Structures are given as C-alpha cells and as structure tokens.
A = this chain, B = another copy of it.
C-alpha cells in the first residue's frame, strides 16, 4: 500500500497539479463518453476522479470493475475542473483527480440502502446496518463534531486546573433515583453491583480527598423507559469543585460553553448568560427549561378572571389557584375550533382539566364559547393580554403548578406550530433558586428536586422539618433552547444537615446509614465546601448538530426497546454463565 497523501474531502487549491494518493469508498461510478468517473468518499468528504483509457488503459480497466462501496486506493494528479463542470454542491467541486493508478482493496456487495443523506430508511434497518448508516456524510459529520466538542471541553477544563479522574462503573446500588442496571457478582453470590446513574457521591468524595477540581466525561446508566432524547446509557460532562461559590461554578461553565461554541460552531456567545429564578420561569414560561427563542409569555389574569361569571375561572381563583393566559398573536385563523379542541386534549396529560380560549375578531370583539362570560372585563382582559384583532387567547385555570405547566406546554407546542422559533439561535439561560423538594403524590412523600446532596438556601434550613415545601436550594440548571442541558448545585458538607435532609426524604437513620453511611462518615473528616455540575453530552451534541434525536450523535445507540438490532444485544446466555453467577431466570407471567 502507498501512503495516503490527503483525505478526499480536503483536496483543495493547495494540492493543485500535485500527485496525490487517496483511499476510500466508491460513492458512485459513472461511464460517460468512454471516461469513467468515480466519486471517492472518505470521512472528510468526496472528490471526483476521472479515468481516461487513452491516458492509462490499465487503470481505466480496474476503475471499470468498481461498484458502489468498493474500497480503493487511487493515485492521480489534482487538476482544476472546467468552469462548466464545477460542482458547487461539493466542497472539492472546483477540482478533480486525473486517475493514474487504482487498486481495489476490497469489493462490496450491493448495500441494503444507498449511502446518501436524505434516505428514507426505517430506524430499525439503520441500526441493524449501523456501520453503513454511519457512512452517510451527515452521520460522519455529526460524530466528528461530537469529537470536536469533547476535545474543546477537555481543553478548557485542562487549562483551568481540572483533573480528569476515573470513577468505577461497578458501583453500589442506590435505589433513590431512577432504576439501576444491576450486575450480579460471581464471587459474592446473591450480591450485585449497580452501573452508576452518575458518579455523584464519588465525585464528592474526590473533593474531600482534596482533588479540588475534578472532571470526567463519563457514562451513566438508567434503566427507564426510553424517549427520543433518552438512552439506557448516556454520557455526562461531570464536574465538581471545592471552595467555589455557585456563581463561580456557573462562570466556569459559561466560559466552557463559550469555548465550545467558538470551537465547534464558530459562534461568539455573549457572557454572562441570563439568570432567571425557578419561580420566574414557572410564572412566565410554565417551564423550568423555557425556550426563550420566542416570547409569548404566560400572563397572570387571575384577578380579572375572578370578576367574570365563568365558573371554571371563578372556582380556580376561589380555591387558591390561578388563571393564566397566553396570547397567540394573529393565530385566530390558524387555530380552528377543532385545532383548539386538540390542544384541550393535549393539556390533559399535564393534569389540566381543559384549555379555555377566546378569539378576537376583526372588530376587536371577543368570540368563542366563553366570550359571553367576559362581558364586564373584556377591555381589561384585552389590555392585560395585549389582545388585538386576529389573536387567540388560551387559558389554563387550576392550582398554580398545574396551570402553568399545562399552559407552558401549550406555549412550546404553539410556538413550534406557528414557526415562532428562530432555529439558528442558541439561547442559553440559567435557572437558579430551585425548590429543594417536590411532593410525589404516588410515593406520598417529598423527593429531591435535584438529588439528596443538594445544599438548601441557608435562610430556609429552619423550615426543613416542618415546611419542606418552603425550602429553596442552592441549585442551578443550564438550559439551551428549551432543553435542560445540565444541572448542578452546592452540596451539603456537614453530617447534621445531610441527615436532616435524608429524614425529610423519608429515610430512617438505619436506611440512610445502610445506603449512604460511607458518605455520612466522610462528612466527619474535614469535608470542604463543594459544588459542581453535570451536562448531558449527548443532548449538547444533538443541539449543536441541529438534530432532534440523540441517536443521531451516538455511534451505536439502542433502539426504543433498549436493544441493539445489529449485534442482537441483549441476548440469552448459557446455563453455565447463570450458574456461575448464582442466578436463575424466572418465568414471568403477567
């Protein structure tokens, strides 16, 4: 084999009139007027090679045998194409290679689908032949971008005294949180490791060990049902620091993101990113991860609504709830009654009982089923919502969280449907001052909004016992374009406070000790003030690539049933393997 002198996709002016050696796959072979044209592809792109039988008969004959996806080595001279045959769609389209020598390194059967973007292939087939799906230029570009992203992150953190320290994947099962993936131990029959949901406790221990600044780009595992942006295993940019304030940690994170945006997207972002409290975000956007690329904020109309005769509005107000409105400007025509009914059903999944709406007709009059109840307040309502002819007002009336969450979801949906979102924008936003706990109706107890190690606001600590709902946390999320990109907090660093939080979460002293005894003990031995953050790398890569599914930025993802159709994992195993692990498969009949 000769040495490659340049990647196909990097052929440029610099190589003009030079002899080059290329290696790659035959994207296309055409026979035109006795000449053979091969589009040769490698990870960096495609270049056209022309074989002329009058210049090299032997090479021409080999080129003639090539078929799609053959692997070849080609030597030739870079020439400039005629003005008429320049291909502006190709990065190398001003040039072509005069093919002088060609070797077939391997042949290929006809692939199950053509290696081009914009193919309409089922997800299952793409995953089964992932090694060919990844040949498509878009997938190559996505994974190369992901590489540049991690490289940029690492460079930033390396330059700021963060240490890359590995933590184990065979860890301890801690049922608090999502469901664990378990790994049976052979040596300790009946005992199990768990694959970590995150290295949270270990990174805290690295801080008490004195490492001061830690990072790891680390795999995490959650055995939950899958969605478009969830996989059984996902990758986290995991960061922990000692002796820094929440604001300092946010500053480092912003600077890291700014570096990434510059390196990966060539974009200069403005720092600092805006900060919004969780209360504000819920009030204005009905979401703890608001998409601020468009306005259409939620408007509180509780007082106005209370003065109407509409029972739903009055009841919400009388029962301590709220009435929230949003104004879909100029969308009256786009949202027919049928469409609005659809939205009414949609909000059901957020626990709302329905979506009231009012349109403003060309005369500025309110119309629709509930318009008649608005008689006395119609001017006030129009003023509060800035309603004009052609607008649709949508309302949710319920307890605060239910109402804003439902209407926040409508806001996202309608924002998309109306094309209000500028897809070229990257809106980063910090959501700060989170509640410490959420009440879980199903469990009948409080659960952590972030995790049990989050430090409460100092002023709220006295409320931990009696009024957990009033306790806010030193926690912060970073949001990008309506997605939670990451979250972090200052961590508890005294045993007393940690035990108190466990108590609020329903742990007994025994159960807390059984699961977290080693952390509690570590808190006795000189625990520094610490805090950190974790960012979802898959999601970050997805958003930077402009994709809407993280599978597009993962080399070998699982399908919606957590399986890999290519290698056929998971699979059955031998009785001997089970025997050695002291486990049996049970017959589940449900």
Contact = CB atoms under 8 A, between A and B. Distances in A.
Contact of A70 (B4, B25, B70, B526): B526
Contacts of A572: 190-192
A586 B201 CA distance: 31
Contact of A555 (B165, B191, B219, B221): B165
A487 interface: no
A69 to B, nearest CB: 4
A526 B23 CA distance: 12
A567 interface: yes
Interface of A: 1, 3-4, 7, 23-25, 41-43, 69-71, 73, 105-109, 111, 129-132, 134-135, 140, 143-144, 146-147, 150-151, 154, 158, 163-173, 175, 179-195, 201-202, 205-206, 208-212, 219, 221, 223, 232-233, 235, 242-243, 245, 248, 493-494, 517-518, 522, 524-529, 554-558, 561-564, 566-574, 577, 579-586, 588
Given A143-B163, A183-B182, A171 B577 contact: no
Contacts of A135: 209-210
Given A188-B563, A206-B555, A585-B190, A173 B108 contact: no
Contacts of A184: 182, 184, 583
A528 B210 contact: no
A171 to B, nearest CB: 6
Nearest to A205: B131
A187 B232 CA distance: 11
A142 B554 CA distance: 33
Contacts of A150: 164
Contact of A585 (B170, B208, B583): B583
A202 B555 CA distance: 9
Contact of A106 (B3, B185, B233, B526): B526
A192 B571 contact: yes
A42 B163 CA distance: 14
Copies assembled? 2
A166 B564 contact: no
A164 B147 contact: yes
Contacts of A187: 561-563
A1 B249 CA distance: 14
Contacts of A577: 173, 175, 179-180, 182, 192
Sort A-B residue pairs by CB-CB distance and give the 8 closest, nearest first.
A108-B526, A134-B209, A172-B569, A191-B570, A69-B526, A185-B570, A172-B567, A131-B205
A163 B147 contact: yes
Contacts of A170: 181, 221, 232-233, 558, 562, 569-570
Nearest to A171: B569
Contact of A192 (B518, B558, B573): B573
Contact of A529 (B1, B42, B168, B248): B1
Contacts of A556: 167-168, 202, 205
B166 A235 contact: yes
24 contacts: A23-B242, A25-B526, A43-B210, A69-B526, A106-B526, A108-B524, A109-B524, A109-B525, A132-B209, A134-B209, A140-B209, A151-B164, A165-B555, A166-B219, A168-B564, A170-B558, A172-B564, A173-B573, A185-B562, A188-B562, A189-B588, A194-B569, A518-B566, A584-B585
A192 B569 CA distance: 7
Contacts of A524: 108-109
Contacts of A189: 585, 588
Contacts of A557: 168
Given A105-B529, A147-B163, 9 more contacts: A7-B212, A71-B529, A107-B526, A109-B524, A143-B165, A180-B577, A189-B588, A192-B571, A583-B585
A194 B578 CA distance: 12
Contacts of A245: 1
Given A183-B182, A193-B569, A588-B189, A169 B169 contact: yes
A242 to B, nearest CB: 7
A106 B528 contact: yes
A151 B217 CA distance: 13
Given A525-B69, A526-B69, A182 B573 contact: yes
Contacts of A568: 172, 517-518
A63 B387 CA distance: 66
A214 to B, nearest CB: 9
Given A163-B144, A583-B583, A106 B527 contact: yes
